[in-house]
Structure 1
């Protein structure tokens, strides 16, 4: 849409409020609302001022003023709020007018522009599969004298024997057996369909929805691939729709990677294909029908994977998902079939247009703009430097000998390891001024101070089970 078309839509739909939305640095959506009368054609150039010092990881208190510039093509009538139009915004410096380097959406825009400037490709298409859990309720607390969490799910295996449980008809899903059951075992079919249809009403193309592997209400809705910035915008909307539809039904949705111990965690598998002059660059006659360009792109991602995970698996909880035995992609290798490999090449179709690969390490706690931007930069580095991804990992890892497994690189075991890898390996992210040194330094500082050290300082509930009677 143009600004004029946005204003026409507002008149047509009798819009009374305009919600201005953006993403903070760690990855939470933020917003504030202005009356419809405040939105003019000039607003799409002049923007709206706000205090950036209260946004995590951004401005200091003595340099707080920032500017939101609405993006007209992102206009959407909010399906949950009354008479409200939602607009995504880019963040600018009000003094210089320059794009703010720590605005995740601006990082994504620069990544696309850098790709085009290299001449290697003119389009990068991303498809994101973000998994999530729907619970009936959750309770948790952490303070000086207690620390616990409790998950309520009538669908969960752990409630099968509870007397008086709501809806307890014996159809609870067993651990690791939740893939594709039909109702009544799948109690979430109608809710997921409502989420799917709401996304479609908001302009997001959806391919499918289904129950996922884990017990307790794990779900997935697959969005159709889009260019980088569009896909990251859609992921932001995806989370918003999932959480609000869940709330409408008295449930709670979480994109936390590993809320349930001893069952599958939630991943965010990211599919990538590069194109130039409307021709797919990943189709060829090599392994799994891939081209040398695709192989080099995989080589770049595998080489930089430990550093990439600082953005793609960016929480301490992420590394409770990245453990063997739960279809988790802990092996830094590629395969056309093996889902324990970090990169999988789908072989559903021989069509050149559908040739792509899937990076399986990311999870939905990610800031989507930063995750896909970092992934693209690693792929471009692989192509530029012809990085060999090595041999595929096509064997069943459970049949491999210990000495064979030792030769396969593994994902980092903690967020701290990934942050250290990012500190040592981030030159590829700085090209084209996509990520800046300040962005990298601030990310490492924030994640270390507010997550790694915060968790390290607190007793864990399981420590009481292990050590209370020492």
Structure 2
């Protein structure tokens, strides 16, 4: 969409406000709104100024001036505002006009540019399956003398005996019993459909939605794959629309990986493939899972670099509450066709040559999608360039249920890091693959590690309620 087309859209739809957005290191969107009457061609040439020192991990107060440079291709109408508002994503530049090397969106674009310089392919496609919970009530507090959280859902398995409903209507979702039941057990069909309608109006191609495995309103909506940066843009749009549609229904949505103890967490399985001038490069008929050797080497790069990669794809302390055995969590760094207990799965049902892809199941939605997708691509490309063979390294294929293997057999399988600190240590030791072609800078990686270590420390030094169970009577 050209600048003129955006200006025409503003007039045609009687837009009152233009909301310019960028994304910080955390992956959360930030925004500044301008009156539509103040937006003209110069706005798209000169950008929109903001204070970079107020964004964690960006700049100090002595270098705070930064500029959002709008990307007109991302424009869509906000479905929630009372005053007609147009949303536009932006890249971040310095006042000198240079691309800011800590801007996650620019890093995603540099990863796409790097792919084209390798001669391997011309385009990488991504499709995330970002799961979430829809709760009715969320309360939490952390202080000197108290620490707790409490969530509730009308369909939660723990509410089979609740009287406050004015007559309990039963049909609650059992623990681990929420995968695709029909109503009345699935009470959230309409809210998910409304989310999908709004997403479609905002430009996403919706493929399906359904209730997920966990109790208490776990859900999933799938949208069509696209190129790396566009998919990251779409994921931010997805999370924004899901959260605000839930709010319209008097509910709250969260993409937190593990909000409930004792049931499945929410992942963000990411499907990936590479094309060259429109031709798929991951397909080879008759090979294992119909995968080409290039795809096998891509998997090799993902699995070889996985400990470091996970610092970016699972960048929260809560991520590692999900990455434990027993809850369909992909903790095993192996690959397999159709096996959901492996970190890398190759879908084999109803797959065409163009649909041939790999699925990295470890990530979750605390990840900044621009950074996560870029890092995955860089790991895969490193595997292709170095011909990393996951078969030779003992990464599979494993086509049996790994959770049912003996302890001795499991001991031979490499697992994901156990904590965020372990993942950050791995990233500190293995980051060279990210800096190829200047996609990630070492300054960015060092800054990112420092920021995330600070988050981990905030959790580590706080008293956990369960410590009272374990140690109060010592």
Q: State the alpha-carbon separation in 1 of the partners of residues 417 and 409 from structure 2.
A: 19
2:460 pairs with one of 444, 449, 456: 456
Distance in 1, matches of 2:300 and 2:182, equals: 40
Query: Take 1:152 and 1:351, find their aligned partners in 2: how far apart are those partners?
Result: 42
The whole-number CA distance in structure 2 between the counterparts of 1:291 and 1:459 is 50
Number of the residue aligned with 2:419 = 414
Please state whether the residue corresponding to 2:408 is helix, strand or coil: helix
- CA RMSD, Structure 1 to Structure 2 (Å): 0.9
Give the structure 2 partner of residue 10 of structure 1: 10
**Structure 1 counterpart of 2:128:** 128
Q: What is the correspondence of 1:157-176 to structure 2 with a 5 Å cutoff?
A: 157-165=157-165, 168-176=168-176
* Distance in 1 of aligned mates of 2:417 and 2:139: 30
TM-aligned CA distance change 1:295 to 1:18, over 3 Å: same
Q: In structure 2, what is the equivalent of residue 344 of structure 1?
A: 345
Contact in 2 for aligned 1:53/1:61 (Cα 8 Å):
yes
Q: How does 1:368-379 map to 2 (within 5 A)?
A: 368-379=369-380
Instruction: Report the equivalent of 2:354.
Output: 353
- Residue 45 of structure 1 and its aligned partner are, at CA, apart by 1.7
TM-score normalised over the length of structure 1: 0.98
Shift of 1:44: 1.4
Report if the CA contact (8 A) 2:341-2:403 is conserved.
Answer: no
- 1:24, CA displacement in angstroms? 0.8
Partner SS state of residue 354, structure 2? helix
Q: In the alignment, what sits opposite 1:68?
A: 68
Pairwise CA distance, 1:252: 0.5
**Number of matched residues?**
468
CA–CA separation in structure 1 for the residues paired with 2:339 and 2:351: 18
1:405 — aligned with what?
Answer: 410
- 1:287-339 Cα distance to aligned partner (Å, 9 max, x none): 10000000000000000000000110000000000000011000000011221
Q: 1:170, CA displacement in angstroms?
A: 1.2
Where does 1:300-315 land on structure 2 (aligned, <5 Å)?
300-315=301-316
Residue by residue, what CA displacement relative to the aligned partner does 1:245-295 show, whole Å, maximum 9, x if unpaired? 000010001010000000000000000010002110000132100000000
Q: Partner residue of 2:332?
A: 331
Moved over 4 A (4+): none
| Cα distance, 1:165 vs structure 2 | 3.0
Distance 1:159-1:275 versus aligned 2 partners, 3 A rule: same
Once the 2 structures are TM-superposed, how far is the Cα of residue 399 of structure 1 from its aligned partner?
Answer: 3.1
CA displacement, residues 162-195 of structure 1 (integer Å, 9 cap, x when unaligned): 1223673111100001000111111111000000
> Paired residue for 1:446?
451
TM-score w.r.t. structure 2 length? 0.98
* Distance in 2 between residues matched to 1:425 and 1:154, nearest whole Å: 45
| Pair 92,166 (structure 1): closer, same or farther in 2 beyond 3 Å | farther
Which segment is superposed worse, 61-70 or 157-166? 157-166
What residue is the counterpart of 1:152 in the other structure? 152
